[in-house]
């Protein structure tokens, strides 16, 4: 049996009360769209009060095992002592100075020594700062305007060059998106086709070096070779893959080094720091000693703030000390194997499972036709939350240990058991209170026909409607 809605409303009483006011104060009621109300079941906690290790607590004081980890901003776990202590020591000595701080020098030297891809580095605060900087640098270096992005990779930046290409591109001049081209992962022919069509116009290729599938047939090396041959810059976005796949970047594991790489998210274990790293002759364009036209690379008031810089060094040192990456690979494998075995045992393996790389597992929820099912995903998340498991997506960290896996599997088993008859009787949507989770990148909040929000501005009216 799934949890009665009244019981859940009682469980999240304070959450519901605060959320109502919060939405009158902040548009979207969140500072990241992926943490918003439309990304969670209606009957769910709305606000988190604090977190430690692999656990977090909502404002109603319900405890959760947190498998999401603040949009993947953690590799060691919440409030990790070695990182927090380094930050506290640093912040007591001042957080921003009138000339570059000594930490900017020290951390730059540390990263250039650590990461083979880094001949030079430049710091930002968010991932978007550095992917945007990489694209701008590539355009400046090549004198070309077009960018080629991997079609299967869902997010690179909050900046116009990327958001213009999504269905949520209101407020951006229409012609911006005309500069963006798409290629497909593991499809070198799609790369060749772009060079054939626009060979001296493409400034860069940007992609996550790996996401959910292995690079096949030497794809990454062939892509690099084609970029070199055609004078384009190869940018690997390591926001999610960096550290998790390999401390030196996922690209290092596959032995293919891009011209530029971008790191952020978990690299500073929850503190704000992002890094553009790459080849000296390209990076130098943002410098002040060359004779070329100046390039306004990254120049941010808060980029030199000491807190994020102290955090990045403490995080990477601790990751090396405890071999966090290996722990993440092992624990992710145990998660995937355990979840899939449970689904098999409970007779729901056609509908619920885990896939992807061991270090970066992803959920899979399908309906009876085998199509991805957001209603099933929403109901599963709702029932896990009701039992103290927060898992809309999966971010395994060093803080996740066997005890967390054990409790999670206990809950997954119960939830799968209760959902099985609902799935078999086609009652998932009826069982759900409120809307299913919606894609972030949609044109309207709700579409008029099906309330799904999927209708694209440029598509014929209600093209997604099946009724």
Ligand X SMILES: Cc1ncc(COP(=O)(O)O)c(C=O)c1O
| Binding residues vs ligand X (CB under 6 A) | 126-128, 131, 155-158, 208, 237, 239-240, 264
Taking the complex as a whole, how short is the minimal distance between the CB of residue 275 and ligand X, in angstroms? 12
* Closer CB to ligand X, 264 or 286, in the complex: 264
Taking the complex as a whole, how short is the minimal distance between the CB of residue 241 and ligand X, in angstroms? 8
Cα–Cα nearest to 255, from 210, 211, 192, 213: 210
Angle between the 306-322 and 102-114 helix axes, to the nearest 10 degrees?
Answer: 30
* Closer CB to ligand X, 272 or 373, in the complex: 272
* Closer CB to ligand X, 125 or 144, in the complex: 125
Taking the complex as a whole, how short is the minimal distance between the CB of residue 351 and ligand X, in angstroms? 27
Q: What is the DSSP string of 175-213?
A: GGGGGEEEE-TT-HHHHHHHHHHHTTTEEEEEE-S-SSS
Q: In angstroms, how far is CA 357 from the centroid of its own chain? A: 15
Cα–Cα nearest to 223, from 249, 205, 241: 205
* Closer CB to ligand X, 121 or 240, in the complex: 240
- State how far the alpha carbon of 234 is from the alpha carbons of 92, 262, 413, in Å: 40, 11, 44
* Closer CB to ligand X, 55 or 133, in the complex: 133
* Closer CB to ligand X, 247 or 379, in the complex: 247
> Is beta strand 274-278 parallel, antiparallel or unpaired with respect to 260-263?
antiparallel
Residues 170 and 176: beta-carbon distance below 8 Å: no
SS3 284: helix
* Closer CB to ligand X, 32 or 85, in the complex: 32
Is the Cα torsion angle 346, 352, 356, 361 positive or negative in sign? negative
Taking the complex as a whole, how short is the minimal distance between the CB of residue 135 and ligand X, in angstroms? 11
Taking the complex as a whole, how short is the minimal distance between the CB of residue 340 and ligand X, in angstroms? 25
Name the CA radius of gyration of the chain, rounded: 23
* Closer CB to ligand X, 176 or 334, in the complex: 176
Taking the complex as a whole, how short is the minimal distance between the CB of residue 172 and ligand X, in angstroms? 17
Q: d(Cα 295, Cα 285) in Å, to the nearest integer?
A: 6
Task: Tell the residue number behind the tokens 């798409």, with chain if given.
Answer: 182
Q: d(Cα 374, Cα 173) in Å, to the nearest integer?
A: 32
* Closer CB to ligand X, 237 or 383, in the complex: 237
Taking the complex as a whole, how short is the minimal distance between the CB of residue 187 and ligand X, in angstroms? 19
Cα–Cα nearest to 56, from 436, 389, 374, 414: 389
Task: Tell the residue number behind the tokens 């099985």, with chain if given.
Answer: 420
Residues 308 and 125: beta-carbon distance below 8 Å: yes
Which residue minimizes CB distance to ligand X? Answer: 127
Q: What is the DSSP string of 221-248?
A: HHHHHHHHHHT-EEEEE-TTTBTTTBTT
Q: How many CB atoms lie within 10 A of CB 28?
A: 14
Taking the complex as a whole, how short is the minimal distance between the CB of residue 89 and ligand X, in angstroms? 25
Taking the complex as a whole, how short is the minimal distance between the CB of residue 288 and ligand X, in angstroms? 26
């Amino acid at each position: 049996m799934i949890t009665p809605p009244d019981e859940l409303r009682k469980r999240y009483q304070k959450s519901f009360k605060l959320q109502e006011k919060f939405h009158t104060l902040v548009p979207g009621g969140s500072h990241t769209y992926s943490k918003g109300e439309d990304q969670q079941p209606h009957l769910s906690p709305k606000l988190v009060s604090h977190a430690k290790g692999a656990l977090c607590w909502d404002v109603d004081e319900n405890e959760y095992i947190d498998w999401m980890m603040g949009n993947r901003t953690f590799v060691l776990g919440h409030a990790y002592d070695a990182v927090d202590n380094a930050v506290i020591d640093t912040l007591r000595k001042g957080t921003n100075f009138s000339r570059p701080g000594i930490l900017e020098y020290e951390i730059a030297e540390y990263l250039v020594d650590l990461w083979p891809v880094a001949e030079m580095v430049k710091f930002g605060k968010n991932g978007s700062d550095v992917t945007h900087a990489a694209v701008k640098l590539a355009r400046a270096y090549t004198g070309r305007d077009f960018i080629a992005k991997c079609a299967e990779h869902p997010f690179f930046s909050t900046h116009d060059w990327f958001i213009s290409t999504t269905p949520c591109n209101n407020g951006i001049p229409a012609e911006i998106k005309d500069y963006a081209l798409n290629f497909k992962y593991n499809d070198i022919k799609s790369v060749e086709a772009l060079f054939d069509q626009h060979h001296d116009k493409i400034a860069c290729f940007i992609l996550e070096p790996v996401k959910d599938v292995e690079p096949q047939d030497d794809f990454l090396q062939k892509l690099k070779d084609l970029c070199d041959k055609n004078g384009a810059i190869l940018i690997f976005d390591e926001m999610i893959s960096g550290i998790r796949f390999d401390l030196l970047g996922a690209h290092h594991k596959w032995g293919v080094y891009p011209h530029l790489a971008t790191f952020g998210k978990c690299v500073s274990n929850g503190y704000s720091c992002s890094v553009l790293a790459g080849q000296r002759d390209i990076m130098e364009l943002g410098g002040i000693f060359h004779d070329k036209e100046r390039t306004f690379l990254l120049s941010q008031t808060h980029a030199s703030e000491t807190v994020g810089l102290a955090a990045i060094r403490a995080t990477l040192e601790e990751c090396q000390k405890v071999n966090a990456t290996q722990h993440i690979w092992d624990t992710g494998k145990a998660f995937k194997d355990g979840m899939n075995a449970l689904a098999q045992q409970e007779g729901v393996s056609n509908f619920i499972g885990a896939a992807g790389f061991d270090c970066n597992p992803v959920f899979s929820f399908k309906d009876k036709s085998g199509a991805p099912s957001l209603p099933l995903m929403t109901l599963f998340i709702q029932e896990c939350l009701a039992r103290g498991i927060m898992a809309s997506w999966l971010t395994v960290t060093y803080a996740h240990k066997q005890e967390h896996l054990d409790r999670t599997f206990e809950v997954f088993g119960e939830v799968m058991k209760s959902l099985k008859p609902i799935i078999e009787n086609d009652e998932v949507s009826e069982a759900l209170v409120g809307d299913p989770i919606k894609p972030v990148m949609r044109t309207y909040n709700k579409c008029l026909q099906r309330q799904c929000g999927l209708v694209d501005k440029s598509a014929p009216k209600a093209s997604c409607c099946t009724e």
